[in-house]
């Protein structure tokens, strides 16, 4: 998909060069009503993949794919934002600009505690893909290669390594998105790299010289599109360490277009061995892609994705910016039967965003239960939690005065959660946007819980303590203002908690 977008971008730039006398296109009307309150989005212009996410001296650094000249994908830079709490983000100056080696595609960042690269103790080192449009025109499939940049002042200023690229391209057209981490057992750096239809692992003692270790996944997992944006990290369950390999791919996601799959297994510093070859998804919604985890966070494993889908990311009706991230999520493992699953929940810092919670207990849903009056007022930025001792078919309907609605629920006959945005407002910008999307219920317990995070134009659903997760965009023509629950078979809610966004978080 990135290659296709590159060709479109080059065509668009060429057309601009031949249309200097044409009247400029009218700028789209700003859409402040669509601006998320607690998901990061740039003040203006285009963003996609989160990059170089790293924690250092009390600050979380989020770098991201950014095009500062338009609201559509173009020559990539690394934008930069910082946060001390993972929920309030401050946009910083652009960190990395394109240069003679190419555009700045996705990658990662590490803190070089032992000065292995020689840039300085505790240097913040970015490892990223250079993408050369000039080399791509030659058709030799060597236009993507890995390079370094470093900062000695906590990410404020960056210097590119004079020896770039540090990992030349062996002849693979899609050779990108390096995720680097320190492998303590082998006292070396390990790079997890997306290489077209598989993952290739490299190792290095100093971030500068890299040795190929192994390949994984040519005939495993989902292969509806090119593999991108991988991540490899350990998680512990019941005292045993397992390794999780995240692989984003586009297209081929569980509900069309972009998606994030993962594998659980073992890693010995050279080879990743999966414990199961089943295809598993970190998020079943259509709008979570290119997600990876923060470096240097100690025992916490914190994940963040790009909240969009390449099916329509260039067309979503927002201005003067396009696209945002998901909320930060803490990852863990859970065993169900013989299978190990990745679970994700909003980081605990998210709770401070909300206030004035209203809790209702023992609610019987017979056909329809209108909660709007019981909650005094319903806004378009809130957290909703529902728990039940016995899960049954039900749906939560978020709607406005125009009858536009987003429906989130569970269908017991198929044992699937779902989100339906067919009638959610603006959907005509893409024929791939409207629809009903589903996710399997992986939990086997009779009791269930559901957490919804709603932020103007998005809903993130965490079911069964994060065992099933869905992320979904929607664009109503006026804000959500009503909340109802339906059940054709009857549904008993044990407890429901509604918490609006605190005024200070607006």
Task: Quickly state the pLDDT bin for 2 (edges 50, 70, 90).
Answer: low
pLDDT digits (tens, 9 = 90+) for 298-341: 999 999 999 999 999 999 999 999 999 999 999 999 999 999 99
As annotated, the residues of the chain forming the CATH 2.115.10.20 domain(s) are 2-346
* Catalytic status, residue 49: yes
- The β-bridge relationship of strands 321-322 and 45-56 is parallel
Domain 2-346 CATH superfamily:
Glycosyl hydrolase domain; family 43 (2.115.10.20)
Please give the Cα distance from 248 to 291 (Å, whole number): 7
Domain 354-505 class? mainly beta
Please give the Cα distance from 154 to 201 (Å, whole number): 28
DSSP symbol at 372: T
In this predicted structure, the answer to whether residue 478 has a pLDDT above a threshold of 50 is yes
Question: How close are the terminal C-alpha atoms of the chain, in Å?
Answer: 35
In this predicted structure, the answer to whether residue 142 has a pLDDT above a threshold of 50 is yes
* Confidence (pLDDT) at 18: 36
The tokens 């997890």 sit on which residue? 192
Closest Cα to residue 77, out of 100, 101, 94? Answer: 94
DSSP characters over 283-340: E-SSS-EEEEE-BS-TT--EEEEES--TTTTTT-S-SSEE--BPPPEEEEEEEETTEE
User: Contact, 125 vs 112, CB < 8 A?
Assistant: yes
* Confidence (pLDDT) at 11: 40
pLDDT digits (tens, 9 = 90+) for 58-89: 999 999 999 999 999 999 999 999 999 999 99
Among the listed residues 49, 177, 231, 283, the single catalytic one is 49
As annotated, the residues of the chain forming the CATH 2.60.120.560 domain(s) are 354-505
Task: Write down the mean pLDDT value for the chain.
Answer: 95
* Confidence (pLDDT) at 27: 79
pLDDT digits (tens, 9 = 90+) for 83-124: 999 999 999 999 999 999 999 999 999 999 999 999 999 999
DSSP symbol at 10: H
Closest Cα to residue 264, out of 294, 234, 220? Answer: 234
* Radius of gyration for the chain, computed over Cα atoms and rounded to the nearest angstrom: 23
CA separation (Å) from 200 to 127, 167, 271, 436? 15, 12, 10, 35
The tokens 């998005």 sit on which residue? 458
* Confidence (pLDDT) at 376: 81
Give the predicted TM-score (pTM) of the model: 0.95
């Amino acid at each position: 998909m990135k290659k296709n977008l590159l060709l479109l971008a080059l065509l668009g730039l060429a057309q601009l060069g031949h249309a200097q006398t044409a009247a400029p296109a009218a700028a789209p009307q700003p859409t402040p009503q669509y601006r998320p309150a607690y998901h990061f989005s740039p003040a203006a212009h285009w963003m996609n993949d989160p990059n170089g996410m790293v924690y250092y001296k009390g600050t979380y650094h989020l770098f991201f794919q950014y095009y500062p000249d338009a609201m559509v994908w173009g020559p990539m830079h690394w934008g930069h934002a910082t946060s001390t709490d993972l929920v309030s983000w401050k946009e910083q100056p652009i960190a990395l600009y394109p240069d003679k080696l190419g555009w700045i595609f996705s990658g990662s960042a590490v803190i070089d505690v032992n000065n292995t690269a020689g840039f300085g103790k505790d240097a913040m080192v970015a490892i990223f893909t250079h993408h050369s449009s000039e080399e791509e025109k030659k058709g030799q499939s060597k236009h993507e290669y890995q390079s370094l940049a470093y900062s000695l002042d906590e990410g404020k200023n960056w210097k590119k390594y004079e020896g770039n690229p540090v990992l030349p391209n062996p002849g693979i057209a899609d050779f990108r998105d390096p995720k680097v981490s320190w492998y303590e057992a082998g006292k070396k750096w390990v790079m997890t790299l997306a290489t077209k239809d598989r993952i290739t692992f490299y190792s290095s003692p100093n971030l500068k010289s890299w040795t190929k270790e192994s390949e994984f996944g040519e005939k495993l997992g989902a292969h509806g599109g090119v593999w991108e944006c991988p991540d490899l990290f350990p998680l512990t369950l019941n005292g045993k360490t397992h390794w999780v390999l995240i692989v984003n791919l586009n297209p081929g996601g569980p509900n069309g277009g972009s998606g994030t799959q993962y594998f659980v297994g073992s890693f010995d510093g050279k080879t990743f061995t999966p414990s199961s070859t089943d295809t598993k998804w970190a998020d079943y919604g259509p709008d979570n892609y290119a997600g990876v985890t923060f470096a240097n966070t100690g025992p916490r494993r914190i994940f963040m994705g790009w909240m969009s889908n390449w099916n329509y990311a260039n067309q979503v009706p927002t201005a003067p910016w396009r696209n945002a991230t998901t909320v930060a999520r803490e990852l863990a493992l859970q065993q169900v039967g013989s299978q190990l699953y990745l679970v994700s929940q909003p980081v605990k810092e998210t709770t401070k965003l909300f206030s004035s919670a209203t809790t209702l207990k023992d609610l019987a849903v017979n056909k329809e239960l209108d909660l709007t009056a019981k909650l005094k007022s319903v806004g378009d930025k809130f957290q909703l939690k529902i728990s039940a001792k016995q899960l049954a078919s039900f749906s939560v309907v978020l709607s406005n005065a125009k009858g536009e609605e987003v429906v989130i629920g569970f269908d017991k006959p198929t044992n699937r959660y779902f989100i339906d945005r067919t009638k959610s407002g603006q959907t005509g910008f893409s024929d791939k946007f409207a629809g009903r999307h589903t996710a399997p219920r992986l939990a086997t317990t009779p009791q269930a819980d559901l957490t919804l995070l709603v932020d103007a134009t998005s809903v993130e659903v965490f079911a069964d303590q994060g065992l099933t997760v869905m992320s979904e965009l929607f664009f109503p023509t006026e804000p959500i203002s009503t909340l109802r629950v339906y059940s054709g078979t009857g549904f008993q809610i044990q407890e429901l908690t509604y918490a609006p966004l605190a005024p200070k978080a607006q």
